[in-house]
Amino acid sequence: MLTLNHFLALGAILFAIGLYGLLSRRNLVAILMSVEILLNAILVNVVAIARFNDQAQGDVFALFIIAIAAAEVAVGLALFLNVFRLNGVATVDPLRRMKE
Amino acid sequence: MDYALELSGALYIALFALIGIAIVFVTLGMSRMIAPHNITPGKLAIYECGEIPSRGTDVQFNVNYYLFAIMFVIFDVEVAFFFPWAVAFDALGIYGVVAVALFLLLLLDGLIYAWTKGVLKWVY
Amino acid sequence: MPLVLPDIDWLTLAPLLVLLSTASLAALYALYNRSSKAVALLALLGLAVAAIFNLQLFVASRAGELRSSFGLRYLADQGALAFNFVILLGAALAILISYDYLKRAELEQPEYYPLMLLSASGAMVMAAAGDLIILLLGLEIMSLAVYVLSAWRQQARESAEAGMKYFLLGAFASAFLIYGIALIYGATGFFSYPQIVAGLLAEGFEQIFLATLGGIMILAGLGFKVALVPFHQWAPDVYTGAPTPVTAFMSVVVKTAAFAALLRIFAFIYPELGVLAVQSLVVLIALTLIVGNFTALVQRGIKRMLAYSAVAHAGYLALAVLAAGNLGMRAAIWYLTAYTLMNAGAFAVLTLLSDRNDHGDDLERFAGLARSRPYLAAAMTVFLLSLAGIPLLAGFVGKILVFSAAIEAGYVSLTVIAIITSVVAMVYYLRPVMYMYFREPEYEPLQTNSRSTHIAIGIAVFGTVLLGIFPGWWYSLLDLGQSLLAGL
């Protein structure tokens, strides 16, 4: 039988994948995508919990997560465009310059 | 109400996934075994529906696409908030209408701003 | 299932709604009138009106009338309202500092001010949150605006990178926060604080591991916002790369809001979680105090030094969080008030000393400043001494309050670390003062003047000295005897 723990595990695995992408990819767009994976991993958790608890609060939270993800990606893309315009590359490498 | 899924359902999904993966490997493996190995430059070229490819695949997209994408993402996703309202339309009554109107007003504020700023105009 | 409509108390929401509507109107107004002055004045007006509403609520709450909205999810108790004052003050100081600075740096775009208002409104939501979803929404509203603001210097790589870096790490941190919220929801089935506590205390509760894990993740997410070590990596780079007024705003308003949220959940939820959740904060504080202070010691640039000092102050403030409850809350609000005044003031002085690209903030530039610009040097001295915790200035009283709250709560050894590190901190705070007063000038000082920045510095000096000499009145106003949620 599929229990809540299976869904939580799926969420955790997705979260780990997103985390890995966030830390290992150098392309900024790929990093943005990893952030989306992170949020979607949580979304899986939340929706599963809401369904197993049979209550609507979790679904409301899921909607908010979707909206937050969209807002984040919009701002992130805008910032990315700015970096891209200045540096001409889409990777994080130039961002390391400030580390002393 | 018990929402736990039956094992059989999960089994079907697993079986489906396994068969799907197997088909890919079987067909690719067969083609590798059976097909004659004979590479010409034409075969290695980028597939362009018969046209001769003009450049590599790492094309830079126009920045305008990103601006449109940003606008699209925002307005597309905010629609998600309308679904619960639509589902509970009768129960919410005038209260829901006012709340959604306020929400729309805020969105409209953003749209007017973006529009006047010329974000929706394509810059060549 | 019957549909229960949420109760909405408009007066509770009034300060927030004023800021939001001012911000959206100002953004629209900016389309037709590109004068920054009008928009900046509008923004200040919005802050003032919000402060008046807040004052009305505060007076009512002192009289015992406690309001809330959305069924105890948006609170207007004394804690939240006092935090609102600090947030509004910080935002007003930041706007005053910004005005001439932006003009000088040719960054003048009227949209700057609505963004700052939006960010401040998000901060107010965080302070008022009685529900984890509301907390998250406030955090995002606040952060998204600040990400953009820190990349405001579009032509400078440092600024663009500061924005991008802050965004990436911020998104990372908020993912942790959301995951933590999801886990707590999974364990207890609720989002609002009273219900979570009830769920945790319920008979036969077995999910304590999940809930504790969630609590630690929330701590990590909020710890990032206040720059607790080891979540502070972004702070020096972002603080240095962002335009100085934005740095002032970040170090003051963002920190206040995150601590307000942290204090509330620590007072309620954390005592019921596993002991690991509280222990991890103890470790974070010890690390923050040591790393923050000792790294600040070796910085040459004043802006970077102030960034690490902000990290160190997060450590002192987190001590008050450990002592959450009435005493800790009062100490934290008091400390944050003082911190807002002195830190914003220090950054304000910095805007007048560095050139239009924010360069030239190294220690050598401060040499002989007492002779060339005596008033500025005096103001900077007041701020630095207050940050260091010299008696008769606000910072000293704040530290005393926080330390005694922490000792009361039984964290004696941690308080000893805090006292030792604050002695170490004297060195890096006093060094610029030495340079200003006892060194010959090496550079021709900039003669930048700005009326609005002078006003901000004046307010900050006045406040720092006033709170330092008469600390009692503000502290007695913060008597949080009554709160909407039990336990505070």
Q: What is the ipTM of this complex?
A: 0.93
Q: Which residue of C has its CA nearest to B102?
A: C21
How far off is chain C from A14, nearest CA to CA, in Å?
A: 12
Cβ distance of B92 and C28 shorter than 8 Å: no
Residue C487's pLDDT is what? 42
Residue B38's pLDDT is what? 78
In a structure prediction context, what are the per-residue pLDDT tens digits for chain A, which is 100 residues long?
678 888 888 999 999 999 999 888 888 888 989 999 999 999 999 999 998 888 788 888 999 999 999 999 899 988 988 888 887 777 776 665 544 4
Backbone phi and psi for residue C390, each to the nearest 5 degrees, phi listed first: -85, 135
- Whether residue B2 is predicted with pLDDT greater than 60 in this model: the reply is no
Peptide bond into C445 cis (omega under 30): no
Q: Subunits with at least 3 CB pairs below 8 A relative to chain A?
A: B, C
Residue C455's pLDDT is what? 94
Q: DSSP string of C381-432?
A: HHHHHHHHT-TTSHHHHHHHHHHHHHHHTT-HHHHHHHHHHHHHHHHHHHHH
Q: Which of C254, C243, C248, C23 is nearest to C151 (CA)?
A: C243
Question: Is residue C451 classed as helix, strand or coil in its secondary structure?
Answer: helix
- The neighbour count for residue A88, using CB atoms within 10 Å, is 9
- Whether residue C1 is predicted with pLDDT greater than 70 in this model: the reply is no
How far off is chain B from A100, nearest CA to CA, in Å?
A: 32
Which of C146, C153, C178 has the most A C-beta neighbours within 10 Å, making it the best mutation to test the interface with A? C178
Residue B1: band (very low, low, confident or very high) from pLDDT cuts 50, 70, 90: very low
Residue C480's pLDDT is what? 65
By Cβ distance, the residue of C157, C171, C241 closest to A76 is C171
Could you tell me the domains of chain A? 4-88 (1.10.287.3510)
* A contacts of C158 (beta carbons < 8 Å): 98
- Whether residue C119 is predicted with pLDDT greater than 70 in this model: the reply is yes
pTM of the shown model: 0.89
- Look up residue C69 and give its amino acid: S
Chain segment C350-375, per-residue pLDDT in tens: 988 887 777 777 788 888 888 888 89
Cβ distance of A95 and C190 shorter than 8 Å: no
Query: How many CB contacts within 8 angstroms connect chain B with chain C?
Result: 16
Q: What percent of chain C has pLDDT over 70?
A: 97
Residue B55's pLDDT is what? 67
In a domain, C483, yes or no: no
Cβ distance of A98 and C158 shorter than 8 Å: yes
Residue B7: band (very low, low, confident or very high) from pLDDT cuts 50, 70, 90: low
Cβ distance of B117 and C24 shorter than 8 Å: no
Look at C252 and A56; give whichever has higher pLDDT.
Answer: C252
In a domain, C3, yes or no: no
Q: By mean pLDDT, which of A7-16, C140-149, C316-325, C443-452 is the weakest?
A: C443-452
* B contacts of C7 (beta carbons < 8 Å): none
C28 and chain B in contact, CB less than 8 A:
yes
By Cβ distance, the residue of A61, A95, A97 closest to C164 is A95
Spatial distance between the Cα atoms of C257 and C259, rounded to a whole number of angstroms: 5
In a domain, C314, yes or no: yes
Span C12-40, average pLDDT: 91
Residue C176's pLDDT is what? 93
Span C35-62, average pLDDT: 92
- Whether residue C108 is predicted with pLDDT greater than 90 in this model: the reply is no
Q: By mean pLDDT, which of B43-52, C120-129, C359-368 is the weakest?
A: B43-52
Question: Is residue C354 classed as helix, strand or coil in its secondary structure?
Answer: coil
Q: Do residues C215 and C273 touch, judged by C-beta distance below 8 A?
A: yes
Place of tokens 């490498």: A93
* C contacts of A80 (beta carbons < 8 Å): 164
* C contacts of A54 (beta carbons < 8 Å): none
Q: Which residue of B has its CA nearest to C1?
A: B91
* A contacts of C178 (beta carbons < 8 Å): 39, 42, 65, 68
Q: Which of the 8 DSSP states describes residue C195?
A: H
Question: Is residue C139 classed as helix, strand or coil in its secondary structure?
Answer: helix
Span C405-417, average pLDDT: 91
By Cβ distance, the residue of B88, B113, B117 closest to C3 is B88
Place of tokens 């509004």: C88
Spatial distance between the Cα atoms of C182 and C176, rounded to a whole number of angstroms: 10
Average pLDDT of chain B is: 80
Spatial distance between the Cα atoms of A49 and A32, rounded to a whole number of angstroms: 26
By Cβ distance, the residue of A1, A66, A81 closest to B4 is A1
Q: Which of C316, C260, C263 is nearest to C285 (CA)?
A: C316
Average pLDDT of chain C is: 89
Q: How many domains does chain C have?
A: 1
Cβ distance of A75 and C147 shorter than 8 Å: yes
Peptide bond into C441 cis (omega under 30): no
Q: Do residues A64 and C138 touch, judged by C-beta distance below 8 A?
A: no
How far off is chain A from C413, nearest CA to CA, in Å?
A: 33
What's the first-to-final CA gap in chain A, in angstroms?
A: 54
Place of tokens 């209550």: A55
Residue C33's pLDDT is what? 84
- The neighbour count for residue C169, using CB atoms within 10 Å, is 18
- Whether residue C221 is predicted with pLDDT greater than 80 in this model: the reply is yes
Q: Do residues C148 and C115 touch, judged by C-beta distance below 8 A?
A: yes
Burial class (CB in 10 A: 0-12, 13-18, 19+), C64: exposed
Q: By mean pLDDT, which of A7-11, C316-320, C352-356, C478-482 is the weakest?
A: C478-482
Chain segment C335-347, per-residue pLDDT in tens: 999 999 999 999 9
Chain segment C413-441, per-residue pLDDT in tens: 999 999 999 999 999 999 999 988 988 88
- Whether residue C2 is predicted with pLDDT greater than 70 in this model: the reply is no
Q: Find the angle CA(A54)-CA(A59)-CA(A64) to the nearest 5 degrees.
A: 160
Residue C488's pLDDT is what? 41
Residue C311: band (very low, low, confident or very high) from pLDDT cuts 50, 70, 90: very high
Span C115-120, average pLDDT: 96
C154 and chain B in contact, CB less than 8 A:
no
Spatial distance between the Cα atoms of C274 and C216, rounded to a whole number of angstroms: 10
- Whether residue B3 is predicted with pLDDT greater than 50 in this model: the reply is no
* C contacts of B109 (beta carbons < 8 Å): 24, 27-28
Span B108-112, average pLDDT: 88
By Cβ distance, the residue of B1, B3, B74 closest to A74 is B74
How far off is chain C from A10, nearest CA to CA, in Å?
A: 13
Place of tokens 């102030």: C306
Q: Which residue of A has its CA nearest to B78?
A: A67
Span B37-55, average pLDDT: 74
Cβ distance of C164 and A82 shorter than 8 Å: yes
Cβ distance of B113 and C3 shorter than 8 Å: no
Cβ distance of C172 and A35 shorter than 8 Å: yes
Cβ distance of C167 and A79 shorter than 8 Å: yes
Q: Which residue of A has its CA nearest to B8?
A: A1
Domain that holds residue C464: 10-477
In a domain, C5, yes or no: no
Span C457-468, average pLDDT: 94
How far off is chain A from C243, nearest CA to CA, in Å?
A: 15
Residue A99's pLDDT is what? 45
Could you tell me the domains of chain B? 7-117 (1.20.58.1610)
